[in-house]
Amino acid sequence: MTIFQRLFTDLEFAPRDHIVTVPFAYVGVQPGAAHHSIFEELWHVTKWQSFVLRMVRGEVVRSDYDEEGFPDEQVPEGENAWLELVSEFLAGSAEAVALAGDEDALAVSLGDGLTVRERLELLAVHNAYHLGKIVLLRQLLGIWVPPLDDAA
């Protein structure tokens, strides 16, 4: 198992698919003083992850990219939209692991002063921050059950 598998999909804390498997009725709830719903947190992390992956793949990305913010809506348009967002996030996480599998590619400079490796490391930290917020939101909503093999 590579460090990027540990960071993006499986270890170091609860598996990502476990964190984002949330009953639809709760994804738009904003408990107490929380600033965002689970949907808003996952939307943000998914869109930023997609932006970074396009950058890492060498695609031209706008410097005024505006999707790193949060959505205008607190809830998705429907359960299918939520499930598509979850799938997009998990697929992007798997893509990050795959892109990190090429040691030569990791050393490539992206032109922003960072290498592919550094950009992926920063993405992993960003994802971990927001996934931790999702776990906390789930705890506040009373819908967090740690994975059986992990006390996360």
Number of domains in the chain: 1
Q: Given this model, what pLDDT does residue 11 score? A: 65
Would you say 73 and 128 are in contact if contact means Cβ atoms under 8 Å apart?
no
| Crossing angle of helices 79-99 and 116-141, rounded to 10° | 150
Range of the domain at 75: 3-60+71-141
CATH assignment of the domain containing 11? 1.20.120
Q: Would residue 66 count as lying in a domain?
A: no
What pTM value is reported for the model? Answer: 0.88
Confidence of residue 123 (pLDDT cuts 50, 70, 90): very high
Q: Would residue 44 count as lying in a domain?
A: yes
30 CB contacts (<8 Å, ≥6 apart)?
Answer: 36, 37, 74
Tokens (6 digits) for 91: 């697929």
Would you say 28 and 39 are in contact if contact means Cβ atoms under 8 Å apart?
yes
Q: Would residue 52 count as lying in a domain?
A: yes
Digit-coded pLDDT (tens) for 101-112: 888 888 888 877
Confidence of residue 68 (pLDDT cuts 50, 70, 90): low
Would you say 43 and 71 are in contact if contact means Cβ atoms under 8 Å apart?
yes
Q: Would residue 147 count as lying in a domain?
A: no
Q: Hey, is 24 helix, strand or coil?
A: helix
